[in-house]
Amino acid sequence: MPKNAPESSSLVGAEYEVEIGPVAHGGHCIARTDEGRVLFVRHALPGERVVARVTEGDETSRFLRADAVTVLDASKDRIPAPCPYAGPGRCGGCDWQHAKPGAQRRLKGEVVAEQLHRLAGLTPEEAGWDGTVVPAEGDKLPAGEVPQWRTRVQYAVDAAGRAGLRRHRSHEVEPIDHCVIAAEGVSELGVEKREWPGMASVEAIAATGSQDRQVILTPRPGARLPLVELDKPVSVLRVEEKDGGVHRVHGRPFVRERADDRTYRVGNGGFWQVHPKAADTLVRAVMQGLLPRKGDTALDLYCGVGLFAGALADRVGDKGAVLGIESGKRAVEDARHNLQGFDRVRIEQGKVDQVLPRTGITEVDLIVLDPPRAGAGKQVVRHLAALGARRIAYVACDPAALARDLAYFRESGYKPRTLRAFDLFPMTHHVECVAILEPAGKGA
């Protein structure tokens, strides 16, 4: 029986002494109690023996969530967390502060391999993957040192107006005076030093390749904006209560990001890769996998502000053509602005599954897709496979969604040629993958 077991059916607060098993997708490891209950345990590492305190679940739950509150037998991969706000019940932004950098990458590799096997029936060899997760340039640091990579940080604000980060699976705010993984351009704004009365959140953005800095304020209902005086020049935007739109208060409504020797405008807090090396890393992996030729026709799906469309347009030349599809209105405006120098690039707004059939396109040479975390899904995959592309590049921020879609591609006649995994989110459980697919009948 657990220690400190509550009287009700809730098991929150109950403690179990357990042996920690393998890592699981989501930043935790799996353990079982003596009674056979499954625990998803954070702040633990495989092979450790810990006291795990339940944070979610009751007698009827299929599994319980828990934190390792006491480590009885530590892994050789364990280190003291470099961040003072990491640990059970504290900030939920990082998952692996307590693991050596190399161990973090091995854990992420194990998660990718497990998802490929379970959801796609693929071994690493069958996926064309060497099993490694590669750090971004400059991120290979000794244990105890943390790369300052997060160029976009969304601070939550508590009732007292203090900026912080949310605790794991909670709306509670952990006030902080510094985030160790924040990029220098974010830290130098000094968001944590001042109070934010009436604000629900403050997002800080430090562009890569320019000095553009931006904060996006989300007020609580009925609250007025404070006068924003930070330690560096900054543009200010606000999220409107009525429609959720983002509107300029002062300064530019966009930041200028730099990748693949091109400048991209990203407006109103729109999507851009968070790690300063991520955009270049992913473009390089995609282009090395696709090997575009002059005159190729290509699709860039879920294209955002046009990162991959721009890279493709550069490489397919004046006789090639690129179509980008993106659902976000402001992102489409930015993509059209960013790629206005290319006559044979077209950007369409709408959901991929709705817009693509309306284009009338029946064949293409190359496809890039960078879908949201949920993946592309069976319908989109089937449509893409029917276009007969020579190669398809799939950029994935979630290995489970990638594996599911790889299974759909296999059903539709495409197989992975190569797969690469990148550690673009150090200290967290997130991992970015690039899979290059080709028709299954094609020889290696």
What is the rounded CA–CA span in Å between residue 71 and residue 87? 12
What is the rounded CA–CA span in Å between residue 256 and residue 235? 12
Relative orientation angle of helices 101-115 and 399-411, to the nearest 10 degrees: 30
End-to-end CA distance of the chain: 55
Tokens of 61: 């739950």
Catalytic residue among 91, 94, 303, 397: 397
Q: Are 181 and 147 in contact (CB under 8 A)?
A: yes
Region of residue 96 (left: phi > 0; alpha: psi -120 to 50; beta: else): alpha
Relative orientation angle of helices 378-385 and 399-411, to the nearest 10 degrees: 50
What is the rounded CA–CA span in Å between residue 428 and residue 92? 9
Of all helices (H) and strands (E), which one includes residue 108? Answer: helix 101-115
Tokens of 4: 């400190």
- 91 is annotated as an active-site residue: no
Residue 433: strand pairing partners: 396, 421
Sign of CA dihedral 100, 209, 294, 396: positive
Q: Are 336 and 329 in contact (CB under 8 A)?
A: no
Q: Are 215 and 205 in contact (CB under 8 A)?
A: yes
Looking up tokens 């089937």 gives 382
For residue 136, the tally of other CB atoms under 10 A from its CB is 20
Q: Are 286 and 310 in contact (CB under 8 A)?
A: no
Sign of CA dihedral 312, 318, 321, 326: positive
Region of residue 65 (left: phi > 0; alpha: psi -120 to 50; beta: else): beta
What is the rounded CA–CA span in Å between residue 273 and residue 397? 11
What is the rounded CA–CA span in Å between residue 248 and residue 268? 8
Catalytic residues: 397
